Amino acid sequence: MDKNSSNIMALAPNTSNKRETVCIFGTGDFGRALGHKMIQSGYPVVFGSRSAQTSSLIPKGAEVLSHTEAAQKAAIIIIAIQRQHYNFLIPLTEILHGKVLVDVSNNLKINEHPESNAEYLAQLVPGAKVVKAFNTVSAWALQSGTLDASRQVFVCGDDMEAKQMVMNIVRALGLTPLDQGSLLAAQEIENYPLRLFPMWKFPILLSFGLASFFFFYCLIRNVIYPYVYENKDFSFFIAISIPNRICPILALILLALVYLPGVLAAIIQLYRGTKYRRFPDWLDKWMLCRKQLGLVALAFASLHVLYTLVIPIRYFVRWRMSSQIISQVLNNKTEPLDTTNAWLSDSYVALGILGFFLFVLLGITSLPSVSNNVNWREFRFVQSKLGYLTLILCTAHTLVYGGKRFLSPSSYRWYLPNAYMLSLIIPCMVLVVKFVLIFPCLDKPLTRIRQGWERNPQYSEQSHYIINKSAV
């Protein structure tokens, strides 16, 4: 039979329940894992291999043939072979004409080649319909069935019908196809598995930098200073006291940094009188990683809670309390209850508890399973209104903790203020600017700008139309 007519027949919609044969080139780890999954899902599988012999590793029920023989048996051929070996397909160009070739390959480096592997495959076999898919699923996950975290399969290709056929297979395997458009998207899809937490880079580097700065700051103030001036060894503060200072400081600063870009964006929009102009790149990137910044902040807040819970069982704390009691006994003098201090201490703890509770609530609503179940207005309400309330409570918690110590000269060592005072700078700035932005003289024009109004309409004609991202 004419080879092209057989291809056309194979590509025709399948009206029976019987699944069509799928061919897999390559009997390596990925080819075998995918073949195993396909056989489980009811697809007849035929492998195309350099050595057409079956072995115990080949999934039961699959045939192993030469590339030419295998290709003739199916309309869809999955190329489970590394890109550097694609040249072997050139002599098969005629047989592969009109077939759907599924490129599953990955690279070792981001943008390793000028064109994506899928585009390269399409150039090598011009008559075939190349579809990119499955590259983000690992052989191990396919074989062990642990696909919970990676059910999504990104699919792209220029031929709609071919793409649809591959998406049907993806669905039949119990996975979720995500159409990413034309084959141009393949480069991006091939880069996905190589990315190392791209959105987390900035928050983690920032936290690392801030943590190092505050660690040395506290070390100088709380360990080196008493050693130099009083010859006291407080080096054990490094274990719990200093981390318990750094964690709330970082939590508060990072939480404020979640809201600072929104405030800056509002100022920029008010200044420009339009929302149709791109924000600077750094602000765009900052806004995109606010969720990650918030989650890192929540992690530090949780650590602060844990460190605080162990305070009563610390030897140093128990020693200090017993010394105070003994000194009262020796002096035959009981310290009266200071209600102001009691109020300050209880309010400080209460604000901390409430702040942490809302912080956890914010963290929970940022989980995809929760955020998918709320509408945009509800999400905004939680992330913006409750978020600001969390920031207010946590800032108040720190302010009340400082209490009267702000003005006490003894809290300045080598002219260095207490570390928590530094942590208040950004949150207070954000809250003050946000408060100013609530005034109707600023809020009204800002709301109008965000609804599309322009003070100077020239920008509406510009091509770089960017939707306002500063909502939260």
Sites of contact with ligand NAP (CB under 6 A)? 26-31, 49-50, 80-82, 85, 88, 104-106, 135, 138-139
User: Closer CB to ligand NAP, residue 27 or residue 180?
Assistant: 27
User: Closer CB to ligand NAP, residue 55 or residue 341?
Assistant: 55
Residue 34 CB partners (closer than 8 Å, separation 6+): 24, 78, 80, 104, 134, 139, 142
Per-residue CA distances from 106 to 34, 84, 112, 143, 456 (Å):
15, 11, 10, 18, 48
CA distance 96 to 67: 10
User: Closer CB to ligand NAP, residue 87 or residue 451?
Assistant: 87
* Least CB distance to ligand NAP at residue 397 (A): 48
User: Closer CB to ligand NAP, residue 50 or residue 278?
Assistant: 50
Per-residue CA distances from 322 to 311, 317, 328, 367, 388 (Å):
15, 9, 10, 46, 41
* Least CB distance to ligand NAP at residue 368 (A): 23
**Is 298 strand, coil or helix?**
helix
CA distance 375 to 371: 8
* Least CB distance to ligand NAP at residue 361 (A): 38
CA distance 387 to 381: 8
Residues belonging to the chain: 472
CA distance 302 to 79: 47
* Least CB distance to ligand NAP at residue 116 (A): 12
Beta carbons of 260 and 297 less than 8 angstroms apart? no
User: Closer CB to ligand NAP, residue 49 or residue 395?
Assistant: 49
* Least CB distance to ligand NAP at residue 67 (A): 8
Q: Phi and psi of 176, rounded to 5°? A: -110, 110
* Least CB distance to ligand NAP at residue 191 (A): 13
How many Cα atoms within 13 Å fall on the side-chain side of residue 265? 29
User: Closer CB to ligand NAP, residue 141 or residue 354?
Assistant: 141
* Least CB distance to ligand NAP at residue 49 (A): 3
User: Closer CB to ligand NAP, residue 26 or residue 427?
Assistant: 26
